[in-house]
Chains A and B, each alone.
Chain A
Amino acid sequence: MAKFKIFSTPINSSPLKQLWRAFHQNHFALVASWGLMFMVFIAIFGGLLAPYSPYVQHQDALLMPPAWHDEGNIRFMFGTDALGRDILSRILEGTGYSFGLAIIAVLLALSIGFFIGTIAGFSKGVKASFLNHILDVALTMPSLLIAIVIVAILGPGISNTFWAVVLAMLPQFIHHVRTEISELLDKEFVVAYTLDGANKFQTFRFALLPNMIERLVIFSTMAISSAVLDIVVLGFIGIGAQSPEPELGAMIADNLDVFYLSPWTVMLPGIALFLCILFTNIVGDGLRHALKKRRRQ
């Protein structure tokens, strides 16, 4: 039943723009998105910004507290760890490992998942139901567990972790794209496209794709936070990145030894990690809300 739109006058803007507008109205999420941008910036350029190499050991400054501490030194903003490595530099570089790699992993999983999911979404019959079963099985397995399995096979290390995370997230992406497509295929306007004479590719390109993008963006945002968690957890339990690689999880595990003596060696990387995940989650949440709001209009 066509109802009035009580909310506001219709705005002549694309759904994506509307989504952005709705998102914009949520100041909290907006601030978080700046935070996220900042973190992404660090993930990309952190290595260049770092005052020191994350590996270099300053023998003269072991376990130096952060600069704001009484005994701190401005040379090392965030202090140093037990081997005299600059924590700031390690965090800057580590954000690239934990967060940057997570983003790349998500992008990769997204593209592969998009490809397979699209094919799966269009296929019918035995092939599709077999794939469904496989996906169902794979989906019940939490991504971290899959990642652990893959690392168990490949062996520890940051690059293996990366591939493990990509592979672990793949089923979710395939599933997501596939359900999205099969849901859209049931929509009337897609049928309308076929009746307009569009072929399969045209239907996909003009009818499905524009309607999938925003949900994919949101899904990927949420996936980033889980990818970060997977990477750092693997690093923390010692089967992901190996020290001295400045991956944040491995770094925290590495500094546990001196946690009681110099808590900042653990707290600061933890805070960086927490902020990455928090910002991602808030932005993801904000986007989801914005989408809901837009859909309601």
Chain B
Amino acid sequence: MFNYLYRKTSLLLFISFGITAFAFSLYYLFPGDLLTNMTGITNITEENYQFLADKYKINESIITQYLAFLERLYQGDWGVSINTGDSIYQLIFNLLPATIELALYALIYSFIVAIPFGVLSASESHPWLDKGILSLSLIGFSMPIFWLALIITFIFSISLGWFPTSGRLSLVYDIPPETGFILIDILISDVPYKAEAFSDALEHLAIPTFVLAAYPTTVLIRSTRQSMKSVMQKSYIKAARAKGLSTWQVLKRHGLRNGLLPVIQTLGIHFGTLITLAMVTEVIFAWPGLGALLVDAIHQRDFTTIQGGLLVISALVFLATILFDVLYMIFDPLARIRGHGKI
């Protein structure tokens, strides 16, 4: 146990170093003036220059610069956006919850849909159902997310008018942002139109969540199916059946538990992709999150924002991967002894 923790911590340290060093190196990789890339201030005056050069230690060794960078990171002094002059720290952490919210709901959604379908398709009782689910998931897997988004909006918003097309909440409702998670914000706010606002928020969530969930759902269906299939072939399942347990009991006690373990791992592996797809979804549905910010920033060559956004998104991805790893470890007694290096 200790060893496991030790290994994970050292990995975490390595990763933190990796991410921050990478973010730091962006200062140099981005075109343009170094000090502007660091501060986000475009027209640096003479007297200001000296002050900033001292603060950012740009005339000292790379190591010192990097350490200064770490210190600033820690203090929340992430510079300002080259274009708007807003504090990047503020900007990012205001938008982060929206991204997390979208990704999380999509994940939950795909879990709810994919696990039963995956299990169903793994049970060999309905070969046609299996084929159907598989083909559908293959199609879903092959659809570029933006194209899927266009088709879905065209059908469900434009033609049928069931759901709104973009945004998180109708602007009619004025909900003070407390946590940044819209559903939570609505619940803790004291506005007279709580209920409508809540259902409106759900309506807004529907299409983006569905579109974003398409990818993880198909991945999950396939991985659930595969792992359930292999688990159901295992001797211990046969042994359990021979003990006289019913199909459902076998599934519940042994099948799902073992079958879903690799699924957790798959999720960990694909979480990063989910986050990137969330970024694309944000762009498509004008979802005010980190992804939209980042893409905008790339359009506008707003290097400070790009750097901050990338830092946070990669940190998010890593944290999630480690989280899934820990989850995996909790559920799989074997992982505790064999979890080498891999995150």
Direct A–B contact in complex, judged by CB atoms less than 8 Å apart = yes
Pairwise interchain contact B144-A273, C-beta atoms closer than 8 A: yes
Pairwise interchain contact A144-B273, C-beta atoms closer than 8 A: yes
Pairwise interchain contact A239-B147, C-beta atoms closer than 8 A: no
A236 and B310 in contact, given A142-B275, A148-B298 (Cβ under 8 angstroms): no
B158 interface contact, C-beta 8 A: yes
Q: Give the complex CA separation of A156 and B295 in angstroms.
A: 11
Interface centre among B30, B141, B146, B154 (most CB of A within 10 A): B146
Give chain A residues whose Cβ lies under 8 Å from the Cβ of B280.
144, 233, 236-237
Pairwise interchain contact A281-B142, C-beta atoms closer than 8 A: yes
Pairwise interchain contact A136-B343, C-beta atoms closer than 8 A: yes
Give residues 1-38 of B contacting A (CB, 8 Å).
Answer: 11, 14-15, 18-19, 26, 29-31
Pairwise interchain contact A239-B314, C-beta atoms closer than 8 A: no
Closest chain B CB from A231 CB (angstroms): 10
Q: Give the complex CA separation of A197 and B238 in angstroms.
A: 45
Range for the number of chain A residues in contact with chain B: 35 or more
Nearest-neighbor residue (CB-CB) of B282 within chain A: A237
Q: Give the complex CA separation of A145 and B309 in angstroms.
A: 11
Closest chain B CB from A114 CB (angstroms): 22
Range for the number of chain B residues in contact with chain A: 35 or more
B189 interface contact, C-beta 8 A: no
Question: In the complex, which of the residues B14, B138, B147, B313 contacts A285, with contact meaning CB atoms closer than 8 Å?
Answer: B138
Pairwise interchain contact A142-B273, C-beta atoms closer than 8 A: yes
Give residues 247-297 of A contacting B (CB, 8 Å).
Answer: 249, 252-253, 256, 259-260, 263, 266, 270, 273-274, 277-278, 280-282, 285
Pairwise interchain contact A281-B138, C-beta atoms closer than 8 A: yes
Question: In the complex, which of the residues B18, B29, B151, B310 contacts A137, with contact meaning CB atoms closer than 8 Å?
Answer: B18
Q: Give the complex CA separation of A155 and B299 in angstroms.
A: 9
B276 interface contact, C-beta 8 A: yes
Nearest-neighbor residue (CB-CB) of B215 within chain A: A229
Interface of A is mostly: helix
Pairwise interchain contact A136-B341, C-beta atoms closer than 8 A: yes
Nearest-neighbor residue (CB-CB) of A292 within chain B: B226
Q: Give the complex CA separation of A277 and B144 in angstroms.
A: 8
Nearest-neighbor residue (CB-CB) of B29 within chain A: A153
A157 interface contact, C-beta 8 A: no
Closest chain A CB from B179 CB (angstroms): 26
Nearest-neighbor residue (CB-CB) of B309 within chain A: A152
Pairwise interchain contact A273-B147, C-beta atoms closer than 8 A: yes
Pairwise interchain contact A134-B158, C-beta atoms closer than 8 A: no
A140 interface contact, C-beta 8 A: yes
B294 interface contact, C-beta 8 A: yes
Interface centre among B11, B15, B144, B301 (most CB of A within 10 A): B144
Q: Give the complex CA separation of A199 and B317 in angstroms.
A: 42
Question: In the complex, which of the residues B276, B306, B314 contacts A144, with contact meaning CB atoms closer than 8 Å?
Answer: B276
Give residues 153-207 of A contacting B (CB, 8 Å).
Answer: 153, 155-156
Closest chain A CB from B1 CB (angstroms): 21
Q: Give the complex CA separation of A207 and B299 in angstroms.
A: 49
Give chain B residues whose Cβ lies under 8 Å from the Cβ of A274.
142-144, 147
Question: In the complex, which of the residues A145, A259, A270, A280 contacts B313, with contact meaning CB atoms closer than 8 Å?
Answer: A145
B145 interface contact, C-beta 8 A: yes
Pairwise interchain contact B144-A153, C-beta atoms closer than 8 A: no
Q: Give the complex CA separation of A137 and B301 in angstroms.
A: 26
Give residues 288-309 of B contacting A (CB, 8 Å).
Answer: 294-295, 298-299, 301, 306
Pairwise interchain contact A142-B276, C-beta atoms closer than 8 A: yes
Question: In the complex, which of the residues B141, B301, B341 contacts A129, with contact meaning CB atoms closer than 8 Å?
Answer: B341
Closest chain B CB from A136 CB (angstroms): 5
Give chain A residues whose Cβ lies under 8 Å from the Cβ of B97.
none
Q: Give the complex CA separation of A136 and B325 in angstroms.
A: 13
Q: Give the complex CA separation of A265 and B150 in angstroms.
A: 12
Q: Give the complex CA separation of A137 and B318 in angstroms.
A: 8
Pairwise interchain contact A252-B18, C-beta atoms closer than 8 A: no
B167 interface contact, C-beta 8 A: no
A281 and B141 in contact, given A140-B343, A260-B158 (Cβ under 8 angstroms): yes
Give chain B residues whose Cβ lies under 8 Å from the Cβ of A67.
none
B139 interface contact, C-beta 8 A: yes
Closest chain A CB from B289 CB (angstroms): 14
Closest chain A CB from B268 CB (angstroms): 8
Nearest-neighbor residue (CB-CB) of B131 within chain A: A28
Give residues 262-288 of B contacting A (CB, 8 Å).
Answer: 272-273, 275-277, 279-280, 283
Pairwise interchain contact B144-A232, C-beta atoms closer than 8 A: yes
A118 interface contact, C-beta 8 A: no
Closest chain B CB from A100 CB (angstroms): 17
Pairwise interchain contact B146-A140, C-beta atoms closer than 8 A: no
Pairwise interchain contact B138-A239, C-beta atoms closer than 8 A: no
- A selection of 6 A-B contacts at a CB cut-off of 8 Å is A137-B14, A148-B279, A237-B295, A270-B151, A273-B144, A277-B144
Name 18 extra pairs, CB < 8 A, besides A144-B276, A148-B294: A136-B343, A137-B318, A140-B317, A145-B279, A145-B314, A145-B317, A152-B30, A152-B298, A152-B310, A153-B29, A225-B142, A233-B146, A233-B280, A238-B295, A249-B144, A253-B146, A278-B138, A278-B142
Interface on A for B, CB 8 Å cutoff?
A: 129, 132-134, 136-137, 140-142, 144-145, 148-149, 151-153, 155-156, 225, 229, 232-233, 236-239, 249, 252-253, 256, 259-260, 263, 266, 270, 273-274, 277-278, 280-282, 285
